[in-house]
């Protein structure tokens, strides 16, 4: 069994105090930095790109988990690797030759993962699963933080964990969107092992404590 991880989403950080928030994550019990890249085409929002990731990398002491919500991500893989991505996930819906794009990520020296939108069934991963270090299941429609968690996610996690088990794989399953202390444990029990949390962590009054509590909850 994989260890259970927390990846705070930098999208919810205070960009005017980015170094402070990066250091908060460094000094907390969090495991990865979750970094959302949005292009205004694949999702109806624009976030940040390479220069901001490079700035985060300068201070971060934990892996950068870069979630690309961009059309044709294959155009930029090497650049994201160069500015410090450790894990790169691409949406199944955003790239035509998924196998080639995952190979490109591996060749750039990163761990490769696939993201599924809410209504994309996990069955599309059947053949590509052995090549995925991780699968990220969206539990909201991507584009914005602070949205409500969609309950249909539980079933998708269970199906995906069964698919991985049947293939003898320990694929990491990451959940992104609306994660709080109310659903964290149930997500882990369903078969997830990495939880992204943005608003829940950054809007709390004691962020390191919130991370610590989440970690305790998912490892209990
Ligand atoms: C949204 C992003 C998420 C977002 C999650 O498209 O992929 O990572 O930051 O934010 P919360 O945890 O606030 O739902
Ligand atoms: Zn994300």
Domain that residue 132 falls in: 5-218
Cα–Cα distance, 35 to 51 (Å, whole number): 13
- Alpha carbon distances (Å) from 121 to 26, 40, 55, 103, 138: 35, 24, 36, 23, 11
pLDDT at 59 over 90: yes
- Whether residue 27 is predicted with pLDDT greater than 80 in this model: the reply is yes
Indicate the pLDDT class of residue 198, thresholds 50, 70 and 90: very high
| Alpha carbon distance 99, 114 (integer Å) | 10
Beta bridge partners of 138: 176
Q: Is the pLDDT of residue 138 over 80?
A: yes
Q: What's the pLDDT score for residue 102?
A: 99
Residue 1 has pLDDT above 80, yes or no: no
Which pLDDT value is given to residue 56? 98
Q: Are 125 and 135 in contact (CB under 8 A)?
A: yes
- ipTM for the complex? 0.99
Domain count across the chain: 1
pLDDT at 48 over 80: yes
Q: Which residues surround ligand 2, an ion (CB under 5 A)?
A: 36, 67, 176
CATH of the domain at 84: 3.20.20.70
Catalytic residue at 176?
Answer: yes
For residue 20, how far is its CA from the centre of ligand 1 (angstroms)?
20
9 is in an annotated binding site: yes
| 157 pLDDT more than 90 | yes
How close is the Cα of 168 to the center of ligand 1, in Å?
Answer: 30
């Amino acid at each position: 069994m994989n260890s259970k991880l927390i990846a705070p989403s930098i999208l919810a950080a205070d960009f005017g105090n980015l170094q402070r928030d990066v250091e908060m994550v460094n000094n907390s019990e969090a495991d990865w930095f979750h970094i959302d890249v949005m292009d205004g085409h694949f999702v109806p929002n624009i976030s940040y790109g390479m220069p901001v990731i490079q700035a985060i990398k300068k201070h971060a002491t934990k892996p950068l988990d870069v979630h690309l919500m961009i059309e044709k991500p294959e155009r930029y893989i090497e650049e994201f690797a160069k500015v410090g991505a450790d894990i790169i996930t691409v949406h199944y819906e955003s790239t035509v030759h998924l196998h080639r794009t995952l190979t490109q990520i591996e060749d750039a020296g990163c761990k490769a993962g696939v993201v599924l939108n809410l209504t994309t069934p996990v069955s599309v991963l059947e053949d590509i699963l052995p090549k995925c270090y991780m699968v990220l299941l969206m539990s909201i429609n991507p584009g914005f933080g602070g949205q409500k968690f969609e309950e249909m996610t539980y079933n998708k996690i269970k199906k995906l964990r069964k698919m991985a088990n049947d293939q003898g794989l320990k694929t990491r399953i990451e959940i992104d969107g609306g994660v709080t202390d109310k659903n964290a444990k149930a997500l882990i029990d369903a078969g997830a092992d990495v939880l992204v949390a943005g608003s829940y962590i950054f809007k709390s009054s004691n962020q390191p404590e919130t991370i610590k509590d989440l970690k305790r909850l998912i490892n209990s």
